[in-house]
Chain A
């Protein structure tokens, strides 16, 4: 098995009632760097993420992570293997504080017994504070999440993923609804994160994609349309047609 890629997707397909959401897709993600997945609406980008994380089962093909097969595993098992996913709409626990949100995601004490007996060790506190600094929320640790701005909630969610130290980060439209300044800060954050782990970003904002990505994949109607660096992609006539023809 070829181990130089972190994530290997081969001939992946899934259909819902006859509709082929993802069709015979083959894709490789390397161990480091930002890999963007773009395409018009309905191209299958979110479904692809669903398939990788085990939320949906493929009807054909497989997904390999770090050399081993993850197709068909439960979501929580896949998460524990080192894949973190962020959803489109910020999904933080509103009634809990920033600290508690991050602490919840700490990759330890996952069973109900240990969760009951859980004690906040200094080690955990340090890690939470570290991550909070990274995501620009260091000074808001003990505020309830519902009081954060939209952009801050997105960062909090990314933080909750980071605290698990995933090797692969899947981000679904991380800057949707963010202000321009927040977008810039997010770009900075993601570029920093990509040193030492793989970040897959599904996005619509082309400027953002251009700024941060090392590699771009274009999907269309569930199939791979084009791959490569952003400036090459942007000149590809098939890509242009697909984006303008709609």
Chain B
């Protein structure tokens, strides 16, 4: 019985990483799959969401203690909006000039990420900060005597499920979603059919960044925030997206799940850094064998 509960808790740890990774990867997959744009600053949008949450927690702590219980949900919305708005600006001033040059987009967005990291450092200091979590998020649920499931983990999962659902629903059933999918599959035809592909691109990019912002808010429940928090996830996120086949959302989910789980499971047997090495190496090896990722559609070249 003891082993099962340890296993369950370990699986649960993997789930928390999985949630943040998935939220990041969803945003990136949409941007990359849709526009072929590599946004190396994606991690920094996570950091924006995290710092926003932190600021709101400070604000409610000092000026509005009665908000402490509810600020978190507000933070999620604000993080989304703020990150999304910044995404719009970035797309407008930089990304849209670089669409045909993916390598250059990579370099330019890397430059942006460095600048953003420095801004964070200058404004918030180099040390990590933590948002004060509301009481209802602390503590855990005990379904059995031995298994301890932290509530914030549950919130994370719930949030991820809801958001993933929204993304799916949005893509499949809303008008904008159809436009996005059309542009993703055949840009020229979509344009010919009257879809304003520029507008679709801008909104997609902003939405992807917004998702990263939410990931950032979620991230505050599992760790403290520093200027480089986002960059910790960026390589993993890219590998998740590439591994899952950039065109497929289901692939992204499966990929995020396997990578997060692989990391968590191997961490059980060895140190954290070695687990990371093993996971990254495994992903790269698999990518070498199947470069289009696990779930790629066969497309006409």
Contacts and interface: CB of A to CB of B under 8 A. Distances in A.
B296 to A, nearest CB: 12
Interface string A12-44: 000011000100000000000000000000000
A221 interface: no
The secondary-structure label for the interface of chain A is loop
Contacts of B299: 16-17
A96 to B, nearest CB: 21
A56 interface: yes
B186 interface: no
A144 interface: no
Contacts of A56: 300-301
For chain B, the bracket of interface size reads under 10
Contacts, number: 10
Interface string B276-301: 00000000000000000000011111
Contacts of A60: none
A50 to B, nearest CB: 8
Contacts of A21: 300
Nearest to A14: B300
A17 B301 contact: no
Contacts of B300: 16, 21, 56
A132 B153 CA distance: 71
Contacts of A185: none
For chain A, the bracket of interface size reads under 10
A7 to B, nearest CB: 22
A56 B298 CA distance: 11
Contacts of B298: 16-17
A21 B299 CA distance: 12
A17 B300 CA distance: 9
A102 to B, nearest CB: 27
Nearest to B299: A16
B184 to A, nearest CB: 14
Interface-central residue, B297, B298, B300, B301, by most chain A CB under 10 Å:
B300
Interface in B103-162: none
Contacts of B297: 17
A55 interface: yes
A21 B298 CA distance: 14
B299 to A, nearest CB: 7
Nearest to A50: B301
Interface of A: 16-17, 21, 55-56
Interface of B: 297-301
Q: Closest 9 A-B residue pairs measured CB to CB?
A: A16-B300, A17-B298, A16-B298, A17-B297, A55-B301, A56-B301, A16-B299, A21-B300, A56-B300
10 contacts: A16-B298, A16-B299, A16-B300, A17-B297, A17-B298, A17-B299, A21-B300, A55-B301, A56-B300, A56-B301
